[in-house]
Amino acid sequence: MIRVGVDVGGTNTDAVVMEGKKYLGGTKCPTTPDILTGVENSIRGALTEAKINPSKVDVLIVGTTHFVNALVQRVNLANTGLIRLCLPSGSSILPFTDWPKSLIDGMGGSYRLIKGGYEMDGSEISQLDPDELINAAKELSNLGCKQIAISSVFATVRGDMEQEAFETLTKAIPNISITLSKSIGGMGLLERENAAIINASLKPLANEVIDSFKLLQNNLKLSCPMFFTRNDGTLIEAAEVIELPVLTFACGPTNSMRGAAFLSGLDNALVVDVGGTTTDVGEVQDGFPRLAGTSVMVADVRTNFSMPDVISIGLGGGSIVSSEDPLSIGPVSVGHELPQRAKVFNGDTLTATDLAVAAGRCKIGDKKAPSLTSLDKLIEIMDKMIADKVARARTSNKVIPVIGVGGGSVMMPSKVDGLEVICPPHNDLANAVGAAIAQVSGQVSRVVLVDDNIDRDSAIKEVTEEAKKLAVERHADPKTISVLTVSDMPLSYLPGNNLLINVTVVGDLLLETN
């Protein structure tokens, strides 16, 4: 199966062509302001290098930073209103609590609390009142809201009231666009609601992005199916991205870590991804990124969807260096202007790349590296910046390798925090490789009453079988399916021992090949 993987980063857009596990070719192009030109350039370049005709491509897989960028920059966000089904509970913590003001301004910050929601055992706090619901939506619309997010208390235990609200509003108000909290996050009303609001605000942009990617597919004569990569490194269909763009949020670091593990053949390692402007440090366990704890901050908002645990620093190949006291490196970077502005390219700016060349770590550019009296000290500072983060990303003193990836990985020393650094071939395109090898997942979350008839292990086994079935429905090859995560949480205050079991399985994509 021929796969094209693309990863849109802040500085560069990378593309690779792979056949099964074999790398056929790839390119790195500057990310363009419109994003798509950069994507088109990189795919064309990769296909040319791999000598593959577009008609031979079986699948296109894209990882993009469109959505998280929009959120961070507070642009292209739809005015979003939230309806929380909760009264009489809920008023002591209002929606949008703890949000940065600039982001609230970016999406309006309007909300309504109405009757509804569930108790922990699934009984109703109060009944949903369709008239109150429709009025709330109309009021929010009058306030300028283009998107509606709906949250309900204990939607993770019972999702039917959110569903009922969705159906009522869809019938009553034509063309209304709704995000339900239960489709995104887990336990924790505020975090789940925040994720739903963010998702809703990104939906119009998601629509545009998908449309333009489809157009691009036509331009490139790629008639194959197109997928996007999710935060967990697995695939999501384009139609699903339009509804749930937040699920693709953190795919950048995930793809690079997955790609690093794949290219090096190491399933358990630390990954240091040195880009043009920033360096991300994370850990892969069994080939997948280690995930952050229960809640994650996204653009300064607390949410609770699964994201890789990544530490970032403002150090990259383009980081601007001050070689006089006080010595400093970054966080300001020349970004994709490196080939014009770095000293080794006859430019006028001293960059981290120049330091690496001067120290003999790599050969880049057409000019000799500048000789600096403070070189040793600067290299020490640079190495320490990375070593500090690697030390923090480690969760044990176990000696595991460090995989260096990204265009700037040539700057890395041979050892970091006492660990050996491995830079596998094609590591500068690791993120696009990560996209190309993305697998299919199946995730099932179910409450099981554990009693004399079924114990914890059998209950988990049952849910695992369900997850496997789901993955197969999403085109996973049954022969390749393995369990990625298992967790179980008891629901107290219910008679008996009720476990909320969560299982995620993954398998290779199985498509009819060309």
Partner 1 sequence: MSVKKLTFVDKKSLNAIALGGAVLGSGGGGDPYVGRLMTQQSIEKSGGVKVIDIESLPDDALILPIAMMGAPTVMVEKFPSGNEFAQLIPMIEKMLTKPVSAILCAEAGGLNSTIPFVAASKLGLPIIDGDAMGRAFPELQMVTFTLGGISATPMAMVDEKGNGCTFDTISNVWTEKLARAITIQMGGSAMCSLYPVTAKECKDYLIRGSLSLIHHIGNIIEKHSFNAYEILVKELNGKHLFQGRVRDVERRTEGGWNRGIVKLEGIDEFVNRDAKIDFQNEFLVAMEGDTVLATTPDLICVFDSNTGAPVTAETIKYGLAVNVLGLPCNPIWQSKEALDMIGPRYFKYDIDYKPL
The residues of the shown chain that bind partner 1, judged by CB under 8 A, are: 86-94, 97-98, 117, 119-121, 125, 153-154, 156, 187-190, 285, 290, 293-294, 309, 392-393, 395-398, 450, 456, 487-494, 497-499
E strands, 246-342, are 269-274, 279-285, 288-289, 296-298, 301-303, 311-313, 319-322, 328-333
Minimum CB separation of residue 302 from partner 1 in Å reads 8
What gap in Å lies between CA 190 and CA 213, rounded to an integer? 33
E strands, 407-481, are 415-416, 419-422, 440-450
The long-range contacts involving 339-346, CB below 8 angstroms and separated by at least 24 positions, are: 342/318, 343/367, 343/369, 343/370, 344/368, 344/369
What gap in Å lies between CA 233 and CA 12, rounded to an integer? 20
Minimum CB separation of residue 35 from partner 1 in Å reads 33
What gap in Å lies between CA 36 and CA 351, rounded to an integer? 28
Minimum CB separation of residue 391 from partner 1 in Å reads 10
Minimum CB separation of residue 180 from partner 1 in Å reads 15
Q: Which is nearer to partner 1, 115 or 361 (CB)?
A: 115
Q: Which residues, other chains included, contact 406 with Cβ-Cβ below 8 Å and sequence gap of 6+?
A: 256, 272, 273, 274, 275, 279, 427, 428, 430, 431
Q: Which is nearer to partner 1, 162 or 354 (CB)?
A: 162
Minimum CB separation of residue 123 from partner 1 in Å reads 8
Minimum CB separation of residue 435 from partner 1 in Å reads 25
Tokens encoding 501? 């079991």
Minimum CB separation of residue 181 from partner 1 in Å reads 11
Q: Which is nearer to partner 1, 87 or 299 (CB)?
A: 87
What gap in Å lies between CA 417 and CA 402, rounded to an integer? 10
Please provide the DSSP assignment of 14-29 as one string: EEEEEETTEEEEEEEE
The closest alpha carbon to 312, from 336, 334, 282, belongs to: 282
Minimum CB separation of residue 189 from partner 1 in Å reads 5
- The answer to whether the beta carbons of residues 273 and 252 sit under 8 Å apart is no
What gap in Å lies between CA 33 and CA 38, rounded to an integer? 8
Q: Which is nearer to partner 1, 117 or 317 (CB)?
A: 117
Q: Which is nearer to partner 1, 49 or 124 (CB)?
A: 124
Strand, helix or coil at 415? strand
Q: Which is nearer to partner 1, 348 or 452 (CB)?
A: 452
Burial class (CB within 10 angstroms; exposed 0-12, middle 13-18, buried 19+) of 95: buried
Minimum CB separation of residue 64 from partner 1 in Å reads 28
Q: Which is nearer to partner 1, 266 or 459 (CB)?
A: 459
- The answer to whether the beta carbons of residues 6 and 39 sit under 8 Å apart is yes
Q: Which strands, in side-by-side order, build the sheet including 80-87?
A: 110-115, 80-87, 147-152, 178-180
Q: Which is nearer to partner 1, 236 or 450 (CB)?
A: 450
Q: Which is nearer to partner 1, 218 or 492 (CB)?
A: 492
